[in-house]
């Protein structure tokens, strides 16, 4: 219903827009966003990146999270199926599904506070990838506008549909995959006015991997005056999916899993068919913005309704061995979120050099419920409640930032952000008996916290197009309400980060070489018993990256990166620059390399000139350390995509994991006891979640271009 209303509004306002040209002064360009160039202010750090999603769209990427692999060093993992948020590994961080990486959509925060599956859980599956025009990623906490969960950095998706007209696209792929994509952008309307609908289903590449998902997004961008514009974005999404979970490496090698005896059947097998989940999200964003030569402002209001239910079983019957009911965990999360966000930028000249001052704020309120229960293996009935909370969380934040040019070559930027949190929790799962006698199992708790986050960056232009940039900043992760006591001043996890690097830009080509050091005072690592990340103490990271992009207009666009990162648990008393002290943190890849390339040409076929594109994405991930001294294998994958267009028809073909490599989407090392696995053992052993084999998707699209046939 919401996308339909926005569609009607978009049509009415597009028709009502006057034909007279606006005054020439201070007119922002809304008709087409140019994603190859950086809009707005200069970068806040050497690793302030604008990911050109539109330019590399032909490289196969199934969802919005996979767009992040355009950034240096980003690795994705998913152990729980198509509807589960991807785990992100970046700069030596196992950022989980959002615990250490701030996610935003058009400025709206997406991280879910006190989600029982993981504090900061950020699910981007509701975003239709074809509507993502660009993504801004800041690796590290160096921009004063970055907020809660910006520990490893932040990600902001920008939506748009530059192509006007309509696209109806259907797809058929491996393992029963079917897709339908509808896109529409009214003629003579800016790229922010669009409608998109995506429907997907599939049987999955092995037992217990079926999925169904639907998403609708609609945007309206309307110029109210020559400098003032209104933006509306509505979204609706629902999904249901099964999960195969993890299997033991020794069971796979011995061929004793409850599937066929051939290696592939064993590799893609599953112990517990009850795993999976469902989720939904519905929301609306309204933004009013003004852009002028001396002043710009943006004011947004947003709300969303979110529900998530997940069922996982990491340990089989290990924790409930005497009763043999099973260790399956059900986690549910229901929350209503509403908020305000705004910023004001003042521009002045000082000594003929441009100067900017920015102030901004965020007000966010979350009201919801979080539960966790143990389920019986047979029938799935709950037999124990481990978490049952009603939560009300308010986040109020403000920041001030300056971007100064001291000379033609020297720049200085930075500022201060302050985040405050107010927690109001109803715990419905307290003990009903104490030493003093019976008591009510419901208890009210309240807590609050305040965090100061200074950030500063200096830059020096060595020669035209080549800058040296150095940054330092403090980021925070708020506290999960499950860890708070009544009346407590809530502790924050703080990251202290520094980086320095060289950045070269010329046209569509760029190159960067960056080194970084970070220290976190309260870090988290995955615990299979809790099926979530738990506190492990302080940690440190250091590393470097090299990245570049070469653009040859009309022929080739190529980008690649190589990242090295070390992550260690810090010994007591270790200093900021005690690099490499302490044991390695598990799960974090030390080496990551990535190449994306797309070539577009026009070929003659039977007298017709047909646009053709060919794209390739290659990824190499080095071995990862695992708990208790174990290690995973290195992985290399190649994806291939291609399109050819003839008149209004476009045919496409994508192949992911072209080499059909058998590799792991996630690796673990812990003790477990599953049915058929032999004698229960408390000795840790390797576990893995299988990654997809070679997957093929063929698409056919009908495209209505409103400019065709127009003189």
Residue 393, pLDDT score: 97
For residue range 181-236, list pLDDT tens digits in order. Answer: 999 999 989 999 999 999 999 999 999 999 999 999 999 999 999 889 999 999 99
Residue environment code for 525-551, b if the CB has 16+ CB neighbours within 10 A, otherwise e: bbebeebbbeeeebbbbbbbbbbbbeb
Task: Kindly indicate the confidence band of residue 100, based on its pLDDT and cuts at 50, 70 and 90.
Answer: very high
Residue 4 pLDDT exceeds 60? no
Residue environment code for 111-122, b if the CB has 16+ CB neighbours within 10 A, otherwise e: bbbbbbbbbbbb
Query: Rounded CA gap, 421 and 433, in Å?
Result: 32
For residue range 358-368, list pLDDT tens digits in order. Answer: 999 999 999 99
Torsion (CA) 92, 93, 96, 98 in degrees, nearest 10 = -130
Query: Rounded CA gap, 37 and 549, in Å?
Result: 13
Residue 579, pLDDT score: 84
In Å, how far are 90, 147, 155, 175, 583 from 138, measured between CA atoms? 11, 12, 7, 37, 28
Conformation bin of residue 107: beta by default, left when phi > 0, alpha when psi is -120 to 50? left
376 versus 532: which is more confidently predicted? 376
- What average pLDDT does the structure give for the chain? 89
Residue 69 pLDDT exceeds 90? yes
Residue 31, pLDDT score: 36
Query: Rounded CA gap, 348 and 356, in Å?
Result: 6
301 versus 481: which is more confidently predicted? 301
Residue 555 pLDDT exceeds 90? no
Residue 28 pLDDT exceeds 70? no
Query: Rounded CA gap, 155 and 136, in Å?
Result: 6
Residue 708, pLDDT score: 64
Residue 700 pLDDT exceeds 70? yes
Find the range with the poorest average confidence among 15-24, 327-336, 389-398, 465-474. 15-24
403 versus 379: which is more confidently predicted? 403
| Secondary structure (3-state) at 300 | strand
Length of the chain counted residue by residue: 711
Beta-bridge partner residues of 699? 171, 652
Q: Please name which of 561, 565, 562 lies closest in space to residue 550, comparing C-alpha atoms.
A: 561
Residue 294 burial (C-beta neighbours within 10 Å; 0-12, 13-18, 19+): exposed
Its pTM stands at: 0.91
Query: Rounded CA gap, 268 and 417, in Å?
Result: 47
Residue ranges per structural domain of the chain: 2-14+42-533+563-704
Fold of 2-14+42-533+563-704: Maltoporin; Chain A (2.40.170)
Query: Rounded CA gap, 701 and 645, in Å?
Result: 9
CA 229 to chain centre: 28
């Amino acid at each position: 219903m919401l996308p339909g209303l926005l569609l009607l509004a978009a049509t009415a306002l597009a028709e009502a827009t006057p034909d007279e040209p606006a005054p020439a002064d201070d007119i922002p360009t809304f008709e087409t966003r140019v994603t190859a160039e950086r809009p707005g202010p200069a970068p806040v750090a050497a690793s302030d990146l604008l990911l050109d999603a539109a330019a590399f769209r032909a490289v196969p990427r199934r969802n919005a999270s996979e767009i992040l692999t355009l950034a240096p060093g980003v690795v994705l993992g998913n152990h729980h199926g198509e509807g589960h948020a991807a785990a992100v590994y970046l700069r030596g961080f196992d950022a989980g599904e959002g615990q250490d990486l701030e996610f935003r959509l058009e400025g709206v925060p997406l991280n879910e506070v006190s989600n029982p599956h993981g504090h900061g859980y950020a699910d981007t599956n509701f975003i239709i990838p074809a509507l993502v025009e660009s993504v801004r990623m800041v690796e590290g906490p160096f921009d004063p506008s970055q907020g809660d969960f910006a520990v490893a950095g932040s990600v902001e998706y920008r939506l748009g549909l530059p192509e006007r007209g309509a696209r109806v696209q259907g797809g058929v792929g491996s393992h029963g995959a079917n897709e339908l994509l509808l896109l529409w952008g009214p003629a003579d309307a800016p790229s922010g006015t669009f409608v998109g609908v995506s429907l997907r289903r599939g049987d999955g590449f092995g037992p217990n991997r079926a999925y169904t998902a639907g998403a609708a997004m609609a945007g309206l961008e309307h110029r109210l005056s020559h400098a003032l514009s209104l933006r509306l974005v509505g979204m609706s999404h629902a999904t249901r999916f099964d999960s195969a979970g993890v299997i033991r490496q020794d069971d796979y090698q011995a061929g004793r899993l409850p599937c066929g005896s051939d290696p592939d059947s064993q590799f893609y097998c599953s112990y517990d068919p009850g795993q999976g989940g469902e989720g939904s999200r519905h929301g609306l964003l309204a933004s009013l913005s003004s852009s002028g030569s001396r002043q710009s402002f943006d004011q947004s209001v947003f709300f969303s309704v979110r529900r998530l239910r997940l069922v996982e079983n990491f340990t089989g019957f290990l924790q409930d061995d005497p009763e043999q009911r099973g260790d399956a965990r059900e986690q549910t999360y229901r929350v209503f979120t509403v908020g305000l966000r705004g910023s004001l930028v003042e521009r002045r000249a000082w000594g003929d050099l441009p100067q900017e001052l920015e102030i901004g704020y965020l007000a966010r309120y979350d009201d919801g419920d979080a539960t966790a229960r143990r389920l019986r293996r047979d029938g799935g009935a709950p037999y124990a409640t481990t978490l049952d909370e009603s939560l009300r969380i308010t986040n109020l934040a403000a920041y001030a930032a300056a971007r100064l040019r001291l000379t033609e070559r020297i720049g200085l930027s930075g500022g201060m952000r302050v985040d405050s949190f107010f927690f109001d929790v109803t715990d419905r799962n307290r003990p009903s008996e104490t030493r003093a006698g019976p008591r009510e199992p419901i208890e009210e708790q309240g807590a609050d916290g305040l965090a100061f986050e200074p950030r500063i960056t200096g830059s020096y232009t060595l020669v035209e197009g080549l800058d040296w940039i150095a940054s330092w900043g403090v980021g925070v992760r708020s506290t999960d309400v499950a860890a708070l006591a009544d009346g407590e001043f809530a502790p924050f996890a703080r990251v202290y980060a520094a980086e320095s690097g060289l950045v070269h830009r010329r046209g569509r080509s760029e190159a960067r070489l960056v080194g970084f050091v970070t220290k976190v005072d309260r870090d988290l690592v995955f615990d299979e018993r809790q099926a979530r990340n738990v506190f492990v103490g302080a940690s440190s990271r250091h590393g470097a990256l090299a990245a570049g992009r070469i653009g040859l207009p009309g022929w080739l666009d190529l980008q690649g990166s190589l990242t090295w990162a070390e992550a260690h648990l810090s010994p007591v008393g270790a200093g900021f620059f005690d690099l490499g002290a302490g044991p390695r943190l598990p799960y974090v890849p030390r080496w990551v390399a990535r190449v994306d390339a797309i070539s577009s040409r026009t070929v003659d076929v039977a007298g017709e000139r047909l646009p053709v594109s060919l794209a390739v994405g290659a990824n190499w991930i080095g071995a990862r350390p695992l708990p208790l001294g174990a290690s995973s294998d290195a992985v290399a994958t190649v994806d291939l995509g291609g399109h050819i267009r003839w008149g209004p028809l476009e045919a496409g073909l994508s192949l992911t994991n072209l080499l059909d490599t058998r590799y792991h989407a996630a690796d673990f090392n812990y003790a477990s006891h599953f049915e058929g696995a032999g004698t229960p053992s408390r000795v840790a052993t390797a576990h893995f979640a299988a990654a997809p084999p070679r997957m093929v998707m063929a698409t056919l699209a009908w495209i209505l271009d409103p400019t065709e046939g127009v003189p």
